[in-house]
Amino acid sequence: MIPPWNTSSVLPPVRPGHPGSSRAVRSPYAVSLSQVVERFASSPERIAILHGLLAYREALGQRGIGEGFQWLDGSFMENKEALESAPPNDVDVVTFFPVPKGETQETLLPRIVDLFDITRTKAQYHVDAYPCILDGSMKCANVKDVSYWYSMWSHRRNGLWKGFLEVRLSQTEDLAATDLLRQIEQEGDFR
């Protein structure tokens, strides 16, 4: 479950009422993509960003990136409408993925480099996209990269602690989230 925004209009870095150190109560919160849609499909602008995120994930899958997970953050994960009186423009995404079997970084990177070109992904998908390649056992290949993203995303620019989300790459989850988003959009049932 995605915790509600706190009084500072951000996701809390630790689930309220759970001061423990368990991974389940700390950011990044592992959730399904349908939970992300259900929670954040609250305006036409946010729905457009979610459509872009789903299209981006589809493009990754078409290029062989179907295993791994993503961290979702940025103003999309905040109540930007309350904080800045404006909707978010995009969602920030780090995709953690192993090199697919039968490939090397050298064969893969030329095929996916455009999916991590921030200018292109923002324009086409409303996604501010970054890669983090994992080793074959789905363990972090570079602890410094993970530490960098965690330290960047666990605070707002003003130093306020905040939380963010983790969703796994999964075609099944993507299909369910797409169906849910279409339903919300058709019903005009913004959450």
- Other CB atoms within a 10 A radius of the CB of residue 123 amount to 12
Burial class (CB within 10 angstroms; exposed 0-12, middle 13-18, buried 19+) of 189: exposed
CA–CA distance, 68 with 71 (Å, rounded to integer):
10
pLDDT, position 14: 84
| Residue-range domain boundaries for the chain | 26-187
pLDDT at 55: 98
Q: How would you write the pLDDT of the chain (191 residues) with one tens digit per residue?
A: 899 999 999 999 887 766 666 666 778 999 999 999 999 999 999 999 999 999 999 999 999 999 999 999 999 999 999 999 999 999 999 999 999 989 888 899 999 999 999 999 999 999 999 998 886 544 555 666 666 767 776 767 777 788 889 999 999 999 999 999 999 998 886 65
Buried-state track 78-115, b at ≥16 Cβ within 10 A, e below 16: bbbbeeeeebbebbbbbbbbbbeeeeeeeebeeebeeb
Task: Please report the pLDDT score of residue 132 as a whole number.
Answer: 87
pLDDT for the residue numbered 188: 82
* Residues 95 and 65: beta-carbon distance below 8 Å: yes
Q: Distances from the Cα of 130 to the Cαs of 22, 43, 64, 146, in angstroms? A: 27, 25, 16, 12
> What is the pLDDT at residue 138?
46
Omega of the bond leading into 44 within 30 degrees of 0 (cis): no
**67-109, pLDDT tens digit by residue?**
999 999 999 999 999 999 999 999 999 999 999 989 888 899 9
